[in-house]
Amino acid sequence: MTNALSAFEPFPEPPALILEYIAERSAEESVVDGPAPWDLGALPAELIEPMPAWLDAVCRWLNGRYAWQPQDVIPPCWTKHEGLAYEIAALAFARGDAYTDAGSSVIWHEQYDRFLTRMNKALGKAGDDCRVGRHEDRPARFQLAAWPAQVTDSSEEPKPSERVTEVAE
Give pLDDT, residue 163.
45
- One-letter amino acid at 127 equals G
For a pLDDT cut of 90, what percent of the chain falls above it?
54
Residues 6+ apart with CB under 8 A from 123: 75, 81, 130
State pTM to two decimals: 0.80
Domain definitions of the chain by residue range: 11-136, 139-169
Distances from the Cα of 126 to the Cαs of 25, 44, 88, in angstroms? 39, 31, 19
Give pLDDT, residue 145.
83
The answer to whether the beta carbons of residues 73 and 63 sit under 8 Å apart is yes
Give pLDDT, residue 93.
96
SS (H, E, C) 2-58: CCHHHHCCCCCCCCHHHHHHHHHHHCCCCCCCCCCCCCHHHCCHHHHCCHHHHHHHH
Higher pLDDT: 102 or 160? It is 102
